[in-house]
């Protein structure tokens, strides 16, 4: 059985939603970041990066959200969570990798500045830049990447839970989501999905 290690209010929510959508049997283990459980020897033995998500499978551990999302889609083909066409699959992966490599990093500059600089002034400068960089990234998403109603147009995929998580970070990052009509409409559709509601219930339990 699959086991997902996650923590509330992190990008791991995307993987949790994908699992709920997939119909696969899985269990979850919630880490308490406030108590530093992500740095415990037990968890570091599972994921030496000390981050979430981590998906434990019968063949080993998978980390990094785009990889986990693709894996879930591929082992649950009946759920149709990813395009079968190689080009369309690559487009979905390009979207997910943009969220991972750019949007998430923009967000992290506001909360994890110490990853990139020791100087307090430099960390504050990174934090101050977050509203601008997040808004710029969502300008690209809203006008160039998000087809609507779902990321891949009419086709719901594992890219949709990932975008849902990132859109939910806009307001805490000092960006008014109202400026991004397609993304906010997408978020409203997502919040109504039973799988999303179940995932949020697990996260809050």
Domain ranges in the chain are 2-79+196-204, 86-193
CATH topology of domain 2-79+196-204: Glutaredoxin (3.40.30)
- 94-126 confidence digits (pLDDT tens): 999 999 999 999 999 999 989 999 999 999 999
- Residue 126 has a pLDDT of 95
DSSP SS3 for 181: helix
- Confirm if 30 and 20 have CB atoms less than 8 A apart: no
| CA neighbours closer than 13 Å in the CB half-sphere of residue 158 | 37
CATH class of 86-193: mainly alpha
- Confirm if 19 and 7 have CB atoms less than 8 A apart: no
Q: Dihedrals φ, ψ of 134, to 5°?
A: -70, -40
Q: How many whole angstroms separate alpha carbon 139 and alpha carbon 145?
A: 9
Question: What is the full per-residue pLDDT of the chain (205 aa) written as tens digits?
Answer: 999 999 999 999 999 999 999 999 999 999 999 999 999 999 999 999 999 999 999 999 999 999 999 999 999 999 999 999 999 999 999 999 999 999 999 999 999 989 999 999 999 999 999 999 999 999 999 999 999 999 999 999 999 999 999 999 999 999 999 999 999 999 999 999 999 999 999 999 8
Q: How many whole angstroms separate alpha carbon 76 and alpha carbon 69?
A: 11
Task: Examine domains 2-79+196-204 and 86-193 and report if their fold is the same.
Answer: no
- 168-194 confidence digits (pLDDT tens): 999 999 999 999 999 999 999 999 999
Q: Dihedrals φ, ψ of 119, to 5°?
A: -70, 125
DSSP state of 153: B
- Residue 199 has a pLDDT of 98
């Amino acid at each position: 059985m699959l086991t997902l290690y996650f923590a509330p209010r992190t990008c791991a929510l995307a993987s949790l939603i994908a699992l709920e959508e997939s119909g696969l049997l899985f269990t979850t283990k919630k880490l308490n970041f406030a108590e530093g459980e992500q740095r415990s020897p037990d968890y570091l033995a599972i994921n030496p990066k000390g981050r979430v998500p981590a998906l434990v499978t019968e063949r080993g551990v998978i980390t990094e959200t785009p990889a986990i999302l693709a894996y879930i889609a591929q082992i649950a083909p009946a759920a149709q969570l990813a395009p079968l066409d190689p080009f369309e699959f690559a487009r979905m992966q390009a979207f997910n990798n943009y969220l991972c490599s750019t949007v998430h990093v923009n967000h992290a500059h506001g909360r994890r500045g110490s990853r990139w600089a020791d100087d307090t002034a430099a960390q504050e400068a990174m934090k101050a830049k977050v509203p601008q960089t997040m808004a710029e990234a969502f300008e690209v998403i809203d006008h160039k990447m998000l087809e609507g109603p779902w990321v891949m147009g009419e086709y719901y995929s594992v890219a949709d839970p990932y975008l849902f998580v990132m859109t939910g970070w806009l307001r805490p990052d000092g960006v008014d989501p109202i400026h991004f009509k397609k993304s906010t409409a997408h978020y409203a559709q997502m919040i109504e999905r039973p799988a999303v509601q179940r995932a949020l219930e697990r996260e809050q339990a």
